[in-house]
Amino acid sequence: GAVVSQHPSWVICKSGTSVKIECRSLDFQATTMFWYRQFPKQSLMLMATSNEGSKATYEQGVEKDKFLINHASLTLSTLTVTSAHPEDSSFYICSARPPNTGELFFGEGSRLTVL
C-alpha cells in the first residue's frame, strides 16, 4: 500500500518553544492530508484538513494560531505547534489519501512531550 511517513517520531521540547512535525507521502501525491491528535487511551481527534496550495480547514475548537499547518507541496504537510505548553503534549498523527482511492494511509505518528 501507499506510504505516509512522519518526522520526527518523537520530540521533547521546553515550554514556550515551537515544534514542527512533517508528514510526507512517499509514493503518491496528496492534495489533501489530515492531522489528528490522540490523547492517551483515547481516540484520534481530527484537528484539521490540510489542503495543498490553500489554507487548512480547522475543526471546531482547534486554535489556528497555535497549530499552524502548511501544505506547500503535493507530498509534504507540516504541523507547527507554536509556543508549546505541557497540555500540548500528545501523539500527533497525519493521514493522506492517494488520488482516486477511498483509502486513507496513516503516518507512524509523532509523540510530543512539552516540559
Partner 1 sequence: GNSVTQMEGPVTLSEEAFLTINCTYTATGYPSLFWYVQYPGEGLQLLLKATKADDKGSNKGFEATYRKETTSFHLEKGSVQVSDSAVYFCALSDQGSSYKLIFGSGTRLLVRP
Which spans of this chain sit near partner 1 (rule: CB under 8 A)?
Answer: 4, 6, 32, 34, 41-46, 49, 93, 95, 97, 102-104, 106-109
C-alpha–C-alpha distance, residues 5 and 107, integer Å = 5
Whichever of 69 and 107 has its CB closer to partner 1, that residue is 107
What's the min distance (Å) between Cβ of 102 and partner 1? 7
C-alpha–C-alpha distance, residues 88 and 60, integer Å = 17
What's the min distance (Å) between Cβ of 13 and partner 1? 21
C-alpha–C-alpha distance, residues 49 and 31, integer Å = 10
Contact of 65 with 56, CB cutoff 8 Å: no
Whichever of 71 and 97 has its CB closer to partner 1, that residue is 97
